[in-house]
Amino acid sequence: MDVVDGGVDRGQNPRATMERDSDDKIAEPSWFSPKKLLFVFCVVNLINYIDRGAIASNGVNGSLGTCTSTGTCSSGSGIQGDFNLSNFQDGVLSSAFMVGLLVASPIFASVAKSVNPFRLIGIGLSIWTLAVIGCGLSFDFWSITFCRMFVGVGEASFVSLAAPFIDDNAPQAQKSAWLAMFYMCIPTGYALGYVYGGLVGSVLPWRAAFWGEAILMLPFAVLGFVIKPLHLKGFAPDDKGKNRTDNLNVLPTGYGFSAVLKDLKLLLVDKVYVTNILGYIAYNFVLGAYSYWGPKAGYNIYKMENADMIFGGITVICGIVGTLSGGVVLDFMDATISNAFKLLSVSTFIGGLFCFAAFCFKSMYAFLALFAVGELLVFATQGPVNFIVLHCVKPSLRPLAMAMSTVSIHIFGDVPSSPLVGVLQDYVHNWRVTALVLTFVLFPAAAIWFIGIFLNSVDRYNEDSEPDAVTRESAVAPLLEDA
C-alpha cells in the first residue's frame, strides 16, 4: 500500500511521497472533457484531409497552359500552371507528402516514450502549419515539394497519437463509435477539400487556399502547448520529458533505434496485429484505386457526364453513414477483437459482392444503387479495424502500432494499387474487366479478416498495469472528466 486516505506507510521515503503527491497533482482531471477532446481531434483530422483534397482540386492544382493548332495559347492555372509541372512532377507532390508521413510516423511514436504525447501533437501541428504556409510561399517545384514533405511530417504525430488518446477517454461502451466518428472525417475532409480548393481557386490565387488552412489549424497547434498536457496510458504524463515509473502504468523504457527495433519485433510476431494489417492492406489496395480511377472508369463504362460529382457524392454519403454505422454496430455487439474481426469479414465480403455485382450491370442506375450499398458496407470497417490495432497490443505500443498500420496500408496498399491498375487497363483495354479484377481483391481481404476470428485474441489494454497500480489508477482515470 502506498497512500491511503492521505496517510503514508511508516518508513516510507518522504521524498518518494512528495514525488507521488506531485504526480497526483499532475494527473488531476482537466477541464478539457472527453467530448471536447473528440471534437478537437475530429476538426484537426478534418483540416488534414481538407488539405489533401484541396491540393488535388482543379482550383488549386490547376493545369498546364495549352496551345491550339492555330497558334492560340492559353496560360496555365494553379500549381501545375504556375510552375509548369509535368504530370509526373505533379504526382511527385503527393509522393513527397507520403514520404514525410511514413518516415516521421514511427519516429513520433517512439519519441512518445520520453516526451509527453500531447505535446508531440502540438509540435507536429506546428510543423504542419508552418509547412502549409510555406506551400503558399513556394516559388518552384522543389520548394513546394520540400514543403509538402514537411506537411506529411507534421501530420505524422497526429496520425500516430490521436487515436490512442480517443481510445483512452471514450466511454467503455462507445469506444468503437468514437473511433468511427474520428475516421468519418477522412471522406468528409476529402470532399470538403475538393469544394474548398475549387471555391478559393475561382476567386483568389491558389496560394490563399494554403494560408486559409494554416489559419484554421493554428489555434489547435497552440492548444497543444497552452493546456495542461494530457496523459496517454502507458507513457510519461509530465511535460518535462521525464520517464515516470512509479504509477500510472508508465513503462521504464528508453527510446532509440534499438528500442524501436525491439518494439517492431513485438508487432511482427503478434499474429492478431499482422492478420489485421494484412487484411487492411488488401482493403486499402482497392479503396485507393477506387478513389483514383473510379470517376474515369465510371465515365468510360457508363458514359457518366458528371462522374467526379457522382463518385464524390457516393463516397461522402456512404463514407459518413458506413463509418459511423460500423462503430455503433461493434459497440452493440460488444466491442471485442473477435467481434471486430467478424464485422470486418462479413461487411467486407457482402460489400464486395455488391460492388462486384454493380460493375456487371450495363444499366448506370443499377450500378449506382448496388455500388452505393457496397461502399456503405465497405466503409463500415474503419472503426473495427482501428479498434483491433489499438487493443491487440499493450498501451505503450499503440502509437507505434498506429504508425506502422499507416505505413503498411500506404506502402503496400493504395500507393502501388493505382499504377498497377493502370498497367492492367493498358493490357486489357476494358474498364469493366479492370474494375471487376480490382474489386475481387476485397474477397481476400474478407478471408484474411475471417481467419482473425479464430486466433487467440486478448484485449491487452491493461497489460502495462503494475500490480499495485490498479487502485492508484482508479483515482485518476479516466484522464478527462466529462463535462
Calculate the dihedral angle through the C-alpha atoms of 432, 433, 438, 439, rounding to the nearest 10 degrees.
60
Contact 179, 387 (CB under 8 A): yes
Residue 336 confidence (pLDDT) above 60: yes
Question: Which is more confident, 441 or 89?
Answer: 441
Question: Which is more confident, 168 or 11?
Answer: 168
Residue 107: the pLDDT is 85
Q: Is 62 left (phi over 0), alpha (psi -120 to 50) or beta?
A: left
Residue 356 confidence (pLDDT) above 60: yes
Residue 43: the pLDDT is 94
Residue 15: the pLDDT is 42
Residue 293 confidence (pLDDT) above 80: no
What mean pLDDT value characterizes the chain? Answer: 80
The domain limits of the chain are 29-63+77-234, 260-462
Beta bridge partners of 4: 7
Q: What is the CATH code for 29-63+77-234? A: 1.20.1250.20
- Go through the chain and tell me how many residues it has: 483
pLDDT in tens, 304-315: 776 667 777 787
> Residue 418 and residue 208: Cα distance in Å, rounded?
30
Residue 307: the pLDDT is 65
- The reply to whether domains 29-63+77-234 and 260-462 share a CATH topology is yes
Residue 247: the pLDDT is 36
Q: Which of 184, 181, 183, 175 is nearest to 320 (CA)?
A: 184
Residue 468 confidence (pLDDT) above 90: no
pLDDT in tens, 55-74: 877 788 777 766 666 666 66
CATH class of 260-462: mainly alpha
| pLDDT category of residue 276 using cuts at 50, 70 and 90 | very high
Residue range 209-227: mean pLDDT, rounded: 92
Q: Which of 51, 130, 47 is nearest to 93 (CA)?
A: 51
91-102: b (≥16 Cβ within 10 Å) or e: ebbeebbbbbbb
Residue 308: the pLDDT is 62
Residue 66: the pLDDT is 67
pLDDT in tens, 4-28: 444 444 444 444 444 444 444 444 4
* Burial class of 294 by CB neighbour count within 10 A (0 to 12, 13 to 18, 19+): buried
- In angstroms, the first-to-last Cα distance of the chain is 32
Residue 77 confidence (pLDDT) above 60: yes
Residue 439: the pLDDT is 95
Question: Rounded to two decimals, what is the model's pTM?
Answer: 0.76
> Residue 190 and residue 193: Cα distance in Å, rounded?
5
